[in-house]
Amino acid sequence: MTGAPDPTKAQKGLAGVSVADTRISKSDADGSLIYRGYPIWEIATNAGFEETAYLILNGKLPTGSQLESFTEGLRERAKVQPKVLGIMRELGRNADPIDVIRTAVSALGSIDSEEDMQGKQMSLEAKMSVLAANSHRVPRGEAPRYPKRNLRFSDNLLQMLTTKEATEYERRVFERVMMLYLEHDLNASSFTVRAVASTLADPYAAASAGLASLKGPLHGGANEAAMEMLLRIKDPAKAGEFLKVAFKEKRKIMGFGHRVYKEFDPRARLCKEYLREMLTRRGGDDTLYRLCEAMETEMWREKRIPPNLDFYAAPIFYSLGIEVPLYTPIFSACRIFGWMAHYNEQLEDNKLIRPDSTYVGPSALKYVPIEDRTLG
Ligand SMILES: CC(C)(COP(=O)(O)OP(=O)(O)OC[C@H]1O[C@@H](n2cnc3c(N)ncnc32)[C@H](O)[C@@H]1OP(=O)(O)O)[C@@H](O)C(=O)NCCC(=O)NCCS
C-alpha cells in the first residue's frame, strides 16, 4: 500500500490527485508554502504586494524599472468604466458582493477595450480592487470610492474599503495579509480558472468562473463566516461551550481545517502574530485575539484541526474597520493575480481539461412512454 490514489477510481474532491505541473507555488502537509521558490515568510517579511504579484506572474522578482512599469501599468488601468459601475448599482442593495463583482467582471469582458492578452489581464488585476471595494457600497446606492494615484496598491485598496485611519504598521499588516491571499496553488478557484483557460476562453471568463467558486463558505466565503462566528461568541470564556454545541450538532467551524495543511497553516501563523502585534501596539482591548486563541486551543485539543488563513485574516480586517461583507471581495482582489498566473501557465502547454469519470448508474434501460410511467 503506497497511499497513492488509484487512478481507475474516482477520488472524492480530487484529494491527493495531481492534475498539473506548476512552477507558481506549492503548499505542503508539513506547513510549508513557497511562492516561485521563496518560502512564504521570506516574501511576507521582505517584499511588497506589487513585487509579490510580479513574482507570481513572471517567475522572478522584478528589477526597479520592471517594478515601476508593472505598477504604472496597473495604475493606468484602474479606472472602472461608468457603465460597469452602473450595472453594479442596478443589482440593488440585497446583492451579494461576490455576485456583484462576478457580474461586473462579465460586463468588463464585453466592455473593456484592451486589445492584447497582457492588457486584458492587467486591466482585470487593476480593476478587481476597485470592484471589490465598491461591491457593497455601489449596489446600496452609495458613491463609488476610487484609487488615488500615488499610493501603494495595498494602501489604495484599504483607503477604498474603509475611512478609518490606519497606522503605518497596520497598513503594512494589511499589505502582508494581501500577499498571503495572492496565490495558493490548486485551490478550488485556481483549478476552476485553469479548467476555463484550457478551453481557450478569455481571462474575463476565467476570472468570473474563479469568482463563482470563491463564493462558497468552504473556500473564499470562510473569512466572513469566521468573523460572524467570532462576533457571535464575543467572550473567550465561551469558546469551549460554543464548540461543544457545534460538535454535537455536527457543524463545521469556519476558518478551521485545510485539504493540505493538517498540522498548521503557515499563513494563519503569520496572521496570528500580526493580529497580536497590531492589538498590542494599540495598547487597548485584546479580547478578539484572546477569543481566537481560545478557539484555536480548544479546536486542537478536541479535534486536532488547526486554524487556516481565513480565521486570523478576518479579525485583522475587522480591527482595521472593514465591514464583514467585504472580506471575500478582498480575497478576490488579491487572488486575481494568482488566477492570471495559472491562466498563463495552463496556456503555455495547454491540453483541454477533460477528466474521466467512473459511471456507477444503471444501463440498458428501456424507454417507457410518459402515460405508462409511475411514481417512485
Ligand atoms: C477546508 C475543508 C473543506 C477541507 O476539508 P477536507 O480536506 O475536505 O476534509 P474534510 O472536510 O473531509 O474533513 C475531514 C474531517 O475533519 C472534520 N473537519 C474538517 N474541517 C472541519 C471544521 N472546520 N470544523 C469541524 N470539523 C472539521 C470533518 O468533519 C471530517 O471529519 P470526519 O472524518 O469525522 O467526517 C474543511 O476543513 C472545511 O470545511 N473547513 C471549514 C471551511 C473553511 O475554513 N474553509 C477555508 C479553507 S482555507
Please indicate whether residue 296, judged by its CB atom, sits closer than 6 Å to ligand 1. no
Q: What is the pLDDT of residue 284?
A: 84
Residue 373 to residue 358: CA distance in whole angstroms: 28
DSSP 320-344: TT--GGGHHHHHHHHHHHHHHHHHH
Q: What is the mean pLDDT of residues 261-276?
A: 97
Q: 231: which 3 cell numbers?
A: 462576533
pLDDT tens figures, 292-339: 999 999 999 999 999 999 999 999 999 999 999 999 999 999 999 999
Confidence of residue 6 (pLDDT cuts 50, 70, 90): confident
Residues with catalytic roles? 258, 310
Burial class (CB in 10 A: 0-12, 13-18, 19+), 233: middle
Q: Whose CA is nearest to atom 41 of ligand 1?
A: 254
pLDDT tens figures, 63-118: 999 999 999 999 999 999 999 999 999 999 999 999 999 999 999 999 999 999 99
Please indicate whether residue 310, judged by its CB atom, sits closer than 6 Å to ligand 1. yes
Bridge partners of 25, per DSSP, are 35
Distance 349 CA to ligand 1 centre (A): 33
**151 secondary structure, DSSP code:** S
Taking 50 as the threshold, does the pLDDT of residue 352 lie above it? yes
**27 secondary structure, DSSP code:** E
Q: b/e for 310-327, b at 16 or more Cβ within 10 A?
A: bbbbbbbbbbbebebebb
Q: What is the mean pLDDT of residues 186-213?
A: 98
Please indicate whether residue 289, judged by its CB atom, sits closer than 6 Å to ligand 1. no
Mutate which of 177, 180, 251, 252 to test ligand 1's pocket (most atoms within 8 Å of Cβ)? Answer: 252
Distance 197 CA to ligand 1 centre (A): 28
Please indicate whether residue 222, judged by its CB atom, sits closer than 6 Å to ligand 1. yes
- What are the distances in angstroms from CA 58 to CA 77, 177, 186, 291, 340? 19, 21, 18, 40, 11
Taking 70 as the threshold, does the pLDDT of residue 25 lie above it? yes
The mean of the pLDDT values for the chain is: 96
Please indicate whether residue 255, judged by its CB atom, sits closer than 6 Å to ligand 1. yes
Q: What is the pLDDT of residue 29?
A: 93
Distance 255 CA to ligand 1 centre (A): 9
Residue 118 to residue 120: CA distance in whole angstroms: 5
DSSP 204-228: HHHHHHHHHHHSSTTTTTHHHHHHH
Taking 70 as the threshold, does the pLDDT of residue 169 lie above it? yes
Q: What is the pLDDT of residue 376?
A: 76
Cβ atoms within 10 Å of 351's Cβ, excluding its own: 7
| β 25-27/33-35 pair status | antiparallel
Q: What is the pLDDT of residue 120?
A: 98
Please indicate whether residue 305, judged by its CB atom, sits closer than 6 Å to ligand 1. yes
Please indicate whether residue 128, judged by its CB atom, sits closer than 6 Å to ligand 1. no
**81 secondary structure, DSSP code:** P
Taking 90 as the threshold, does the pLDDT of residue 7 lie above it? no
% pLDDT > 70, the chain: 99
Distance 264 CA to ligand 1 centre (A): 14
**307 secondary structure, DSSP code:** B
**By the 8 A CB rule, do 27 and 184 touch?**
yes
Taking 70 as the threshold, does the pLDDT of residue 3 lie above it? no
Q: 143: which 3 cell numbers?
A: 458613491
Confidence of residue 1 (pLDDT cuts 50, 70, 90): very low
**39 secondary structure, DSSP code:** E
Q: Closest ligand 1 atom to the C-alpha of 265?
A: 48
Distance 89 CA to ligand 1 centre (A): 36
Q: What is the pLDDT of residue 192?
A: 98
Please indicate whether residue 60, judged by its CB atom, sits closer than 6 Å to ligand 1. no
Distance 156 CA to ligand 1 centre (A): 34
Q: Whose CA is nearest to atom 8 of ligand 1?
A: 259
